[in-house]
Structure 1
């Protein structure tokens, strides 16, 4: 299961680019171009295809790779299975020596689209008769939409929610209803009841919000905004200030950010002495893949889950995940398009579901937590066929919670300065939580830096 987690992380990594060339193996996609839809992709997938992605692929990845290979019988596929690296990407883009297709986090897509380094894929989807709006969750499509076009083929969608440690909660007299992010006056006293320390050092976090790792969830969920509809940074939005002030209040109640970070950095997050086994957290925000990490330790943990709730009191999550882009200099864009479409087709996901089920069947007591693909139809089909009720009610309820929240996802927004916005947000959160700047000052400075980056790219 650790391998599965690492793969899901790795699957959020790759991108690439260049200038369109009509030469090389494969169809003539890109030989004609429309101002409205970009290059005219065809279904003529032949020749050689170079791809960048699938670092440390597990059975979910390899089964889909096998499926796509079977479908593209006239294509010879070569994969650079290394992690995406932005510097490597831009260097290769400058030289024009880029792969035909690249796997990358969806948060980067608009940045490369604005730099004219990747191709719009409207015609790619049309050529393969894929209805983007029905194939993928709306929030996932929003992640890769910019300037009226769709620029990437989405894959995976890892919604965060809150995994509870029932042992810690029960000992403190805290209920699931108390872990309500929309009610600070209820949540904070519950957190304080569960929090334990040795001197000034935490020994049990009442609630680990994963403030920097899940920053968008907290900002957007508590009424803030990172990017407006035009892709302009909005880091100094008043709602962001309120969300950041609450995060500081939450961590100050548990020893302060510096001590919390030191404590949480010590967690054996993927091991047999993880924070749920050792009762080091009462509750923690986690993406769906973390349920997989906990399944080998089902006898050693007592978990449940609740959704993160927005300011309106309704379940809320954000749409993180990876995607495939086609660089502008790709030599075989038709094959790249066909490969990405087949890798994310319903049948490919069902092959992945079957492969995952086969792996789980070899592990006594293992629990199938499902796959979260970015496609609602594939998610439901895999759940129906492979996700069976186990003899552990806590895991059953946790798995169901993630399925319940997946449709509530919201995109962070797409911006030419997406990468810089993320970096500046992390800087603002860190400085604010450490108390070196007020939330207002930290976000104002972050906005200034993000706007500088935005203007450089978008003019």
Structure 2
């Protein structure tokens, strides 16, 4: 899973504008900024790496809408260390594109501006414009600190050939029935002696740890952002994942096998029947479109402990650093990039690409914007997989579950909490510590980090 996690992170970084997800001054700087001023002058941006057809269409739309603004973009990837260095030097850009998980940390450090006044100046109601759970991702201390964009809901992508061979149905892949889920995974798994030659169900137990804790009624932080890693529900989630991996040969064996799969190329697990089912974010449906004639896909949502469809929000955002020289233009530009008109331009560009590139097989998996209004018209007018019912099922499942999302929660120590959780998951799944002990140790370390950054 290490190789796949790294690859997934690379994809996530590329998704920042694409369509394939210490210093002071925060609140004070925002109060002094006239976000309603006519946007003009030069605007500098950073973090716009690998801009694709979707990104270019939105940039062109914003440029046409804000004719008085000259945009200069640094098209290198966001780097947390570089961000902090720029903040110390006082040489910050006006707008930065970052993953939403970074937002509360920088807000607590006073490195970015709260944007409530920005939204008010442009008559944007965040709770209406974005899914509430997407807005919650960037809300801390009752203020929003970023303009969200994209939303990558995970679901279970299934391999119909493997399921049929193993006598497993979609109903068996119900995460609210752990025993049935484990039995289905075991039935789809193929062992060659003590080695795995097919994984029945890959839950991405480490990289999707937060999702699994939430699905079991737990969570990583409370409403104040303090870590809650040692909750009883979290222990139950880790115990389930332990049993799930053990039924398939053990975490180490499954992890090694999955890490060796070329998930982005001809060796992918669905074309070669190396997996029966796996948890994937929506972007992976795009990866599989060139193999549409070689795979038999299906999709089912993850479910919470009550059996209801469930997913967790995640994606990218635009922030305005506290040291920005042109924050009013940054505000107007970031909002313009996330309007319904910008997303329509992006959807039209993606439709043209789908038609022009033969290896897409005419499959348009849609765009997941973070905005329910934009998602709806893109789904209705553009998303389609004619002739490929499995891909259509995947498209529909991702769209259906998007509204059921839950925010993982905002915390000024969010990065540290996630890191400690992943360490605990690895330790527990490898059998190095019990779930209780692993989560207790992670909670202690995460709380120490939280107290340090929050002054608690």
Structure 2 counterpart SS, 1:263:
helix
CA deviation profile, 1:250-294 (whole Å, cap 9, x unmatched): 011111111111100111111022010110100000001111111
Q: TM-score, normalised by structure 2?
A: 0.94
Task: Report SS of the residue matched to 1:204.
Answer: strand
Q: In the alignment, is residue 275 of structure 1 matched against residue 269 of structure 2?
A: yes
Match of 2:172 in 1: 178
Shift of 1:96: 1.0
Deviation at 1:39, TM superposition (A): 4.3
Counterpart residue number, 2:289? 295
Aligned twin of 2:420:
424
Q: Is the 8 A contact 1:4 1:58 kept in 2?
A: no
Once the two structures are superposed, what CA deviation does each residue of 1:217-251 show, in whole Å capped at 9, x if it has no partner? Answer: 11101111111011111111111111011111101
Contact 2:131–2:372 (CA under 8 A) maintained in structure 1: yes
Report the Cα distance in structure 2 between the residues aligned to 1:388 and 1:4, rounded to whole angstroms.
Answer: 25
Q: Which residue of 2 aligns with 1:238?
A: 232
Tell me, yes or no, if the aligned pair for 1:19 and 1:327 is still in contact at 8 Å.
no
* Structure 1, unaligned runs of 5 or more: 22-29
* Structure 1 vs Structure 2 CA RMSD: 1.9
Q: Which residue of 1 aligns with 2:14?
A: 10
**Partner SS, residue 163 of structure 1:** strand
Q: CA deviation at 1:9?
A: 3.8
Structure 1 counterpart of 2:109 = 115
- CA deviations over 1:16-35 (Å, ceiling 9, x no partner): x96669xxxxxxxx99754x
Aligned to 1:263: 257
Structure 2: runs of 5 or more not aligned: 1-6
Shift of 1:370: 0.5
Aligned residue pairs, count? 443
Aligned to 2:4: none
Change (3 A) 1:12 1:62: closer
Distance in 2 (alpha carbons) for counterparts of 1:390 and 1:384 = 14
1:305/1:216 CA distance change after superposition, 3 Å: same
1:347-366 correspondence to structure 2 within 5 Å: 347-364=341-358, 365-366=361-362
**Aligned equivalent of 2:40:** 46
> Paired residue for 1:222, among 211, 216, 223?
216
Q: Is the CA contact 2:24–2:109 (under 8 Å) kept in the aligned structure 1?
A: no
Task: Specify which of 390, 393, 399 is matched with residue 389 of structure 2.
Answer: 393
**SS of 1:181 mapped into structure 2:** coil
Residue of structure 1 in register with 2:150 after alignment:
156
User: Shift of residue 69 of structure 1?
Assistant: 1.2
Pick closer, same or farther for the CA change 1:347–1:43 going to 2, 3 Å: farther
Distance 2:342 2:30 in 1: 30
Give 1:437-448 correspondences, 5 Å limit: 437-448=433-444
Q: Does 1:194 align with 2:178?
A: no
Determine if contact 2:29/2:322 at 8 Å carries over to the other structure: no
Q: Give the alignment's TM-score, normalised by structure 1.
A: 0.93
Post-superposition shift, 1:187? Answer: 1.1
Residue in 2 that maps onto 1:323: 317
Cross-structure match for 2:54: 60
- Aligned partners of 2:8, 2:135: CA distance in 1, in Å? 25
Q: Which residue of 1 aligns with 2:454?
A: 458
